[in-house]
Amino acid sequence: MIGQFTMKLRSSLKRPVVSIPNFFNITAMIDTGALIPVWVKDEAILQACGAKFLFGNAGFSGFGGETSGNVYQIQNFTFGNLLFPTFHIVTSKINIPAQMILPATMFDGLVYEFDTDNHAMNITIPDTQSKVRNLVLERKDGRMIVLCNNVNEK
Q: How far apart are CA 129 and CA 123, in angstroms?
A: 12
**Domain membership flag for residue 154:** no
In sign, the C-alpha dihedral spanning 26, 30, 31, 32 is positive
Q: Which residues contact 111 (CB under 8 A, 6 or more apart)?
A: 123, 124, 126
Number of domains in the chain: 1
CATH assignment at residue 96: 2.40.70.10
Q: How far apart are CA 31 and CA 4, in angstroms?
A: 20
What's the confidence (pLDDT) of residue 149? Answer: 61
**Domain membership flag for residue 152:** no
**Domain membership flag for residue 149:** no
**Domain membership flag for residue 105:** yes
Half-sphere exposure of 57 (CA within 13 A, CB side): 1
pLDDT for 136 beyond 80: no
Report the mean per-residue pLDDT for the chain.
87
pLDDT for 154 beyond 50: no
Q: pLDDT tens-digit profile of 70-99?
A: 999 999 999 999 999 989 899 998 889 999
**Domain membership flag for residue 151:** no
**Domain membership flag for residue 55:** yes
36 and 100 Cβ atoms separated by less than 8 Å: no
Q: Which parts of 62-118 fold into alpha helices (H)?
A: none
pTM for the model: 0.86
Helix (H) or strand (E) holding 77: strand 65-79
**Domain limits at 27?**
3-144
